[in-house]
Amino acid sequence: MYRPIKILLQTTIPDTADDWSIARFGLLADFMRGERDSHGLPLFEVTMRNRDPLGSPDSLLARLDRSDFDELWLFAVDTGDGLMEEDCRGISAFRRLGRGLMLTRDHMDLGCSVCAIEGMGAAHHFHSHNLDPKLGLERDDPFTPTISWPNFHSGANGDYQVIAAAEPIHAVLTDSSSPTGAIRFLPSHPHEGAVSAPNDDNARVIASGTSKVTGKHFNIAVAFEAQGGNGRGIAQSTFHHFADYNWDISAGAPSFVTEPPGDAIAREPEALDATRRYVRNAALWLAGTDPC
């Protein structure tokens, strides 16, 4: 019997109006809910959720392996306390059952609670957790002095960046409408975080970006293939690739976001189309279906 892919979109903070709570990812959810298969049936069933109040395990994440979700898109927007040990165990057990996991964070230590997630947590590097010895301990974004490394400047919020798909092109990056056969654009952000492929045969960098300030190349996405019963996974350099504000600056941002935005993504529909293609591809791939 037909059943859409069940996706949980969840943050690592409680409901907070002036922060990156799940309400700020509504355009992503709306897009997913509108996608249809070749028979006109919905591809995805989407649930949006913030974590429970801090101080105790999250009532869903801690038992995620006992849920019927096919994949979790976790937006790690906390400063270190967003996931408890029980939450990380539940997420890790969920993936060990063959389910999919999108794990994304941002600059410096934002989202560092993900480090305790089995396997995929090691792909994320922070200012004071799981440092990457290959990265220089220097700010890449010099314009926001309160934010330290890692912080790669791919452009203003509201603009887009040109990304490079690693060879061979991964299924998540395929785009038959692109002259290169690969997705070329994602939303930009002034301070993306750092990800790398752990020393693991089933993980590789699939996309990279270039700093608009220093010209440094940095990793955007690491794909984990299904192996040993584990489901597929993607470690993403920043949740801003999926945030409403980065798809449409009129959606607004929390008050602590002070960098002047751009408007290039509004002027170039092709960039947002590529981003949506990336989302569709990732959601299908994480569920075990290679996008065509």
pLDDT tens track of the chain, all 292 residues? 789 999 999 999 999 999 999 999 999 999 999 999 999 999 999 999 999 999 999 999 999 999 999 999 999 999 999 999 999 999 999 999 999 999 999 999 999 999 999 999 999 999 999 999 888 788 999 999 999 999 999 999 999 999 999 999 999 999 999 999 999 999 999 999 999 999 877 999 999 999 999 999 999 999 999 999 999 999 999 999 999 999 999 999 999 999 999 999 999 999 999 999 999 999 999 999 988 7
Exposure string of 228-255, with b = 16+ CB inside 10 Å and e = fewer, is eebbbbbbbbbbbbbbbbbbebeeebee
Domain 5-286 class, CATH top level: alpha beta
**CA 262, CA 137: separation in Å to the nearest integer?**
28
**CA 157, CA 173: separation in Å to the nearest integer?**
22
For 244, the token pair is 């409403």
- Per domain, the residue ranges of the chain are 5-286
Q: Is the C-alpha dihedral spanning 243, 246, 250, 252 positive or negative? A: positive
SS3 204: strand
What is the value of pTM for the model shown?
0.97
**CA 84, CA 101: separation in Å to the nearest integer?**
18
> Quick one: three-class SS letters along 81-137?
CCCCHHHHHHHHHHHHCCCEEEEECCCCCCCHHHHHCCCHHHHEECCCCCCCCCCCC
Residue with tokens 């395990």: 57
Cis bond leading into 269, ω under 30°?
no
Residue with tokens 């298969």: 37
Q: Is the C-alpha dihedral spanning 57, 236, 95, 274 positive or negative? A: positive
Could you tell me if 154 and 161 are in contact, meaning their C-beta atoms sit under 8 angstroms apart? Answer: yes
Position 200 scores a pLDDT of 74
Position 1 scores a pLDDT of 74
Crossing angle of helices 269-286 and 26-34, in 10° steps, is 70
Position 218 scores a pLDDT of 97
